[in-house]
Amino acid sequence: MKIDLEKLTYRQSTVALIIDNNKDILIVQKNSYQPNEWDFPGGGIDENEEAEQTILRELKEELGSDKFEILKRDKDLDKYNWPENYILWRYKKYGELHRGQERVRFLVKFLGEKSEIKIEKEEIRKYQWVKIKDLKKYLIFPNYIGKIGKILTDLGIEK
């Protein structure tokens, strides 16, 4: 299958940088990722849904809790292209063709107990809470740690 990337749109999505009372941050490893690839939870914006509704819905679906409070919404979108093999994999799995994602980023506070998190195993392999200073060990996608550093600064979170 030959894909003309220039004609493809970006998937509209959300992502949450979730902090707890200890200023630890939650990262997830999706089943579609390699064992050393980590990200933050979130997901696609449904038709007629606001980004704020999406992120709270996705967190409940993926993490099994509704004890989240949106603290801030980043003014910038996170826009990136996917590799062609991932575009094809998503097409086979979901029947959608997108060149990448435009994600609305949120800073979210987790108000519950860590033991309350129950991941949705169809989508997420595992999760863990890490210190912000340790994110560089986990966020290995190209240019990602730089983007996250800027977001944390913009959102008023110290590293």
Per residue in 61-112, pLDDT (tens digit) is: 999 999 999 999 998 898 999 988 889 888 998 889 999 999 999 999 999 9
Q: Which fold has domain 5-154?
A: Nucleoside Triphosphate Pyrophosphohydrolase (3.90.79)
Contact 40, 140 (CB under 8 A): no
Chain position carrying tokens 């094809």: 88
In this structure, what are the phi and psi dihedrals at residue 149, rounded to the nearest 5 degrees?
-60, -45
For all residues of the chain together, what is the average pLDDT? Answer: 91
DSSP structure class, residue 110: E
Alpha carbon distance 70, 110 (integer Å): 9
- Count of Cβ atoms closer than 10 Å to residue 62 Cβ: 22
Which helix (H) or strand (E) segment is 15 a member of? strand 10-19
| pLDDT value of residue 157 | 76
